[in-house]
């Protein structure tokens, strides 16, 4: 790469860099962040990009786009690593390995145990005297005990079931507990000791809670020894019924331990990380060991693997990345693993031991050690039970990556089939964009429209939008469709006219006032799909005011809805060939759908086993699901007055959530006294009085 491809100002900035540790950032002409990197010596590292020849490579492609650079000097390489990964996660550079920021792991929560069991603790209420265990995801409250994290909600619920069988702790809400007059079904099936109706005293229940917490910390043998001593003590006093209860408790615990074949007493908290790279994609499988118990695993799939690893390999070959494996494939795996560790454990609690499928650099471990204030070890060649854990994690990584590649191959085939069926250009299938609309309401109540986006061979749930439809006759789906299309594409058409882009050459179009995009109602926040992990946290760049028109606009409906869409597109001066309606077939049977076109083409029946129809049905069904969930939430909000709390000055989302959790719903809050309301965290006596008056 010759120097004359870059400005003199940029080259002079490179020459003036200090030989200190730091982080550098490259930007292109549009201001888009290309790459974030760290260096022990900024001058040496950054100069290597501009002094060596990288023609015909991915790193050369990136360097050719650099027009601006930013650097930050830090005190140590550990600080540089932490800053680098903070920037990667928040700015999403194009040429870095990027893992989705998904650390919202669930925990098992046991309420109030830090306060209730203090010698000087006062017991303010019966519900606090008998702690409950629950599934929890969110900010940790020091007044309670938390165990985990767990890799999935299923793992938490499985542990709760286990503790119910052995220790019989309650799981009911405090509002339910306070109003019970007889034992519930869980007591009848021996999953709860019945503290709500005084079938167990506070001291005995407290002992069960302490035993459960010791078990969760991995002190299994100590729990068994304690139970045995209590059983023998009861037997000596001829209290055979109590001795039999403890014997049954020990038997249940022993059965659980035999079922958990992966248990160990030598390791308490360990994370096992295995990497698999194939076909330009990578998978990191994370298995969690907590309290000596294997809780399950979760796969992670990074983005930008090819570009980022090509740059990393080039730097490693030039000696810029320190000691790395000689095999390029192994170098890729190490880069992916280190990127995951840096991004995943940044700013969160982590175990002190990692078992890894590939070696991890010392600088990364030093940075993690500095972050948590305790030594972090990475074991690359484990033995005994750790080796078994790693083999399991590697096998699961292989399976997860194979499944991902198969699914991506299937989706790409469906995209190509749809392009062929509709005679769309097939040279840019990776950027083919489809937007689909659906209307949902209940007898005209709480009408909502949904827009879902398919691009890059997958559903882009971060770009989904909901539209609250107002000012129409209840139940008029055609008017609802007209409104949502005007709001979605009105500004796009206007922007295209101003820029002279596309084929928009019509006179000015007057968009009705009620169809103007409005930030307060045009698009509600996107929600995570029901069958997926929570949606990504990176910022959404999609905007209805942008110039990007989709390649296809799917309408869930037949001739009537397509005619309405045609009127809107004619009014806005947009291409009618983009509109395709999905009309139900005979008897509304799945697989008999026909495609209806707004530009006058004949209907098309793709065939029940057509890959193109499968993709159309997938997008249409997702739009239907998204519209229904939004409509139901809005309907429930209207019917139950769910917004009344947030309308009260001083009650935001967090306080509202605490109130609803404490009292079991809006009705429970409304029936609570001012004194009860003021016991909720963050609710002062003045605010409690305001809430009470607002709800009465």
The Cβ-side half-sphere exposure at 100, using a 13 Å CA radius, reads 14
Average pLDDT over residues 441-449: 76
- Considering the chain, what percentage of its residues have pLDDT values greater than 70? 81
With a cut of 70, say whether residue 97 has pLDDT above it: yes
More confident residue, 349 or 624: 624
Instruction: For residues 446 and 440, give the distance between their C-alpha atoms in angstroms, rounded to a whole number.
Output: 8
With a cut of 50, say whether residue 35 has pLDDT above it: yes
Nearest to 343, CA basis, from 392, 304, 386, 391: 304
Copy the structure tokens of residue 20: 């200190």
Bridge partners of 146, per DSSP, are 109
Quote the pLDDT of residue 190: 85
Dihedrals φ, ψ of 683, to 5°?
Answer: -105, 110
With a cut of 50, say whether residue 541 has pLDDT above it: no
Quote the pLDDT of residue 276: 92
Quote the pLDDT of residue 502: 47
Instruction: For residues 233 and 240, give the distance between their C-alpha atoms in angstroms, rounded to a whole number.
Output: 10
CA 489 to chain centre: 29
Architecture of domain 641-695: Orthogonal Bundle (1.10)
Instruction: For residues 196 and 181, give the distance between their C-alpha atoms in angstroms, rounded to a whole number.
Output: 8
User: Range with the lowest mean pLDDT among 50-59, 194-203, 467-476?
Assistant: 50-59
Count of helix runs (H) and strand runs (E) in the chain: 23, 18
Categorize the per-residue pLDDT at 462 as very low, low, confident or very high, splitting at 50, 70 and 90: confident
Instruction: For residues 271 and 355, give the distance between their C-alpha atoms in angstroms, rounded to a whole number.
Output: 6
Residue-wise pLDDT for 260-281, tens only, equals: 444 444 567 899 999 998 877 8
Categorize the per-residue pLDDT at 435 as very low, low, confident or very high, splitting at 50, 70 and 90: very high
Residue-wise pLDDT for 60-95, tens only, equals: 888 888 999 999 998 888 888 888 888 888 888 888
Q: Burial level of 446, CB count in 10 A (0-12/13-18/19+)?
A: buried
Copy the structure tokens of residue 624: 């239907």
Categorize the per-residue pLDDT at 529 as very low, low, confident or very high, splitting at 50, 70 and 90: very low
Nearest to 510, CA basis, from 499, 494, 523, 532: 494
* Torsion angle of C-alpha atoms 16, 18, 21, 24, degrees rounded to 10: -10
Q: Burial level of 305, CB count in 10 A (0-12/13-18/19+)?
A: buried
Residue 150 in 3-state DSSP?
coil
Quote the pLDDT of residue 437: 92
DSSP secondary structure letter of residue 369: H
Dihedrals φ, ψ of 672, to 5°?
Answer: -80, 150
270-402 is a CATH 1.10.1740 domain: no
Nearest to 223, CA basis, from 232, 213, 233: 213
Matching fold, domains 270-402 and 423-637:
yes
State the DSSP H helix or E strand holding residue 299, giving kind and residue range, or none if neither: strand 293-300
Quote the pLDDT of residue 530: 34
Residue-wise pLDDT for 377-424, tens only, equals: 899 888 888 898 999 999 999 999 988 888 778 888 888 888 888 888
Query: What does the DSSP assignment read for 80-145?
Result: HHHHHHHHHHHH--TTS-B--------EEEETTHHHHTSTT-----HHHHS--EEEE-S---TTSE
With a cut of 50, say whether residue 369 has pLDDT above it: yes
With a cut of 70, say whether residue 536 has pLDDT above it: no
With a cut of 70, say whether residue 459 has pLDDT above it: yes
Residue-wise pLDDT for 290-349, tens only, equals: 877 788 888 988 888 877 777 766 665 555 555 566 677 788 889 899 989 988 887 677
Under 8 Å CB-to-CB from 163, ≥6 apart: which residues?
Answer: 133, 169, 212, 215, 216
With a cut of 60, say whether residue 537 has pLDDT above it: no
Quote the pLDDT of residue 397: 92
Residue-wise pLDDT for 21-32, tens only, equals: 999 999 988 888
Rounded to 5 degrees, what angle do the CA atoms 114, 117, 123 make?
100
Domain 3-91, CATH class in plain words: alpha beta
With a cut of 80, say whether residue 682 has pLDDT above it: yes
* Residue-level length of the chain: 696
**Which residue spans within 15-62 are E strands per DSSP?**
22-27, 33-39
Categorize the per-residue pLDDT at 434 as very low, low, confident or very high, splitting at 50, 70 and 90: very high
Average pLDDT over residues 424-443: 84
More confident residue, 78 or 634: 78
Q: Is the pTM of the predicted complex or chain greater than 0.75? A: no
Instruction: For residues 501 and 514, give the distance between their C-alpha atoms in angstroms, rounded to a whole number.
Output: 26
With a cut of 60, say whether residue 515 has pLDDT above it: no
With a cut of 90, say whether residue 520 has pLDDT above it: no
Q: Is-contact 249 164, C-beta < 8 A?
A: no
What sign does the CA torsion over 49, 51, 53, 56 have? positive
Copy the structure tokens of residue 440: 């949902």
Number of other residues whose CB lies within 10 A of the CB of residue 119: 4
Residue-wise pLDDT for 551-610, tens only, equals: 999 998 888 889 999 999 999 888 898 899 988 876 666 667 888 898 888 888 887 778
Quote the pLDDT of residue 256: 55
Map out the domains of the chain as residue ranges.
3-91, 270-402, 423-637, 641-695
Q: Burial level of 268, CB count in 10 A (0-12/13-18/19+)?
A: middle
Which single residue is written with the structure tokens 């793709």? Answer: 606
Quote the pLDDT of residue 25: 92
Residue-wise pLDDT for 106-125, tens only, equals: 888 888 765 555 555 555 56
Question: Whole-number mean pLDDT of the chain?
Answer: 79
Under 8 Å CB-to-CB from 380, ≥6 apart: which residues?
Answer: 356, 357, 358, 359, 360
Residue-wise pLDDT for 134-185, tens only, equals: 888 877 777 888 887 788 888 888 888 888 888 889 998 888 888 888 888 9
Copy the structure tokens of residue 175: 């509002």
Average pLDDT over residues 250-259: 62
With a cut of 60, say whether residue 531 has pLDDT above it: no
- Dmax (CA) of the chain: 98
423-637 is a CATH 3.40.800.10 domain: no
Quote the pLDDT of residue 637: 58
């Amino acid at each position: 790469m010759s120097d004359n491809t870059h400005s003199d100002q940029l080259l002079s900035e490179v020459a003036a860099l200090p030989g200190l540790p730091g982080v550098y950032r490259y930007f292109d002409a549009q201001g888009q962040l290309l790459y974030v990197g760290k260096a022990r010596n900024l001058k040496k590292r950054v100069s290597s990009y501009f002094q060596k020849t990288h023609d015909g490579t991915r790193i050369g492609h990136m360097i050719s786009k650099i027009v601006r650079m930013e650097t930050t000097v830090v005190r140590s390489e550990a600080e540089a690593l932490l800053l680098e990964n903070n920037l990667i996660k928040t700015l999403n550079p194009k040429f870095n390995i990027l893992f989705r920021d998904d650390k919202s792991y669930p925990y098992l929560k046991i309420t109030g145990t830090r306060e209730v069991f203090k010698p000087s603790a006062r017991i303010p209420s019966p519900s606090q005297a008998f702690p409950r265990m629950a599934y929890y995801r969110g900010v940790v409250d020091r007044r309670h005990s938390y165990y985990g994290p767990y890799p999935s909600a299923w793992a938490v619920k499985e542990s709760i079931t286990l503790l119910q069988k052995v220790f019989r702790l309650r799981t009911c809400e405090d509002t339910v507990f306070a109003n019970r007059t007889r034992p519930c079904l869980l007591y009848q099936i021996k999953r709860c000791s019945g503290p709500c109706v005084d079938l167990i005293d506070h001291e005995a229940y407290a002992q069960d809670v302490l035993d459960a917490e010791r078990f969760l910390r991995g002190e299994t043998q100590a729990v068994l020894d304690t139970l045995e001593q209590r059983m023998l003590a009861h037997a000596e006093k001829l209290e055979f019924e109590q001795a039999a209860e403890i014997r049954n408790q020990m038997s249940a615990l022993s059965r659980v331990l035999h079922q958990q074949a992966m248990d160990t007493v030598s390791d308490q908290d360990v994370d096992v990380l295995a990497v698999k790279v194939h076909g330009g994609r990578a998978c990191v499988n994370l298995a969690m060991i907590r309290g000596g118990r294997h809780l399950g695993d979760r796969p992670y799939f990074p983005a930008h693997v090819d570009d980022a690893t090509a740059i990393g390999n080039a730097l490693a070959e030039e000696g810029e990345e320190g000691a790395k494996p000689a095999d390029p494939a192994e170098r890729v795996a190490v880069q992916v693993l280190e990127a995951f560790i840096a991004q995943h454990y940044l700013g969160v609690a982590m175990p002190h031991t990692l078992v890894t499928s590939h070696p991890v650099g010392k600088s990364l471990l030093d940075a993690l050690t500095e972050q948590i204030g305790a030594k972090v070890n990475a074991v690359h060649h484990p033995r005994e039970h750790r080796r078994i854990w790693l083999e399991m994690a590697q096998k699961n990584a292989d399976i997860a990556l194979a499944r991902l590649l198969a699914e991506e191959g299937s989706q790409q085939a469906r995209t190509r089939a749809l392009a062929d069926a509709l005679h769309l250009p097939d040279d840019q299938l990776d950027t083919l964009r489809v937007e689909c609309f659906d209307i949902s309401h209940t007898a005209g109540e709480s009408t909502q429209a949904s827009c879902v986006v398919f691009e890059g061979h997958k559903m882009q749930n971060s770009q989904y939008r909901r539209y609250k439809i107002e000012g129409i006759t209840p139940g008029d789906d055609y008017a609802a469709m007209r409104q949502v299309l005007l709001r979605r594409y009105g500004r796009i058409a206007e922007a295209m006219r101003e820029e002279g882009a596309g084929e928009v050459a019509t006179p000015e179009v007057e968009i009705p006032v009620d169809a103007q995009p409005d930030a307060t109602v045009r698009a509600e926040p996107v929600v995570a799909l029901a069958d997926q992990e929570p949606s990504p946290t990176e910022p959404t760049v999609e905007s209805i005011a942008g110039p990007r028109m989709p390649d296809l606009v799917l309408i869930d409906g037949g001739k009537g809805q397509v005619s309405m869409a045609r009127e809107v597109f004619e009014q806005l001066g947009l291409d009618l060939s983009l509109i395709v309606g999905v009309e139900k077939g005979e008897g509304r049977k799945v697989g008999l759908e026909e495609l209806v076109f707004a530009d006058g083409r004949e209907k098309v029946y793709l065939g029940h086993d057509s890959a193109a129809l499968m993709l159309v049905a997938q997008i249409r069904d997702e739009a239907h699901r998204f519209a229904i969930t939004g409509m139901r939430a809005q309907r429930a909000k209207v019917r139950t007055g769910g917004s009344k709390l947030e309308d009260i000055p001083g009650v935001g989302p967090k306080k509202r959530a605490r109130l609803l959790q404490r009292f079991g719903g809006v009705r429970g809050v409304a029936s609570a006294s001012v004194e009860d309301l003021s016991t909720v965290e963050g609710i002062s006596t003045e605010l409690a009085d305001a809430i009470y008056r607002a709800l009465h």
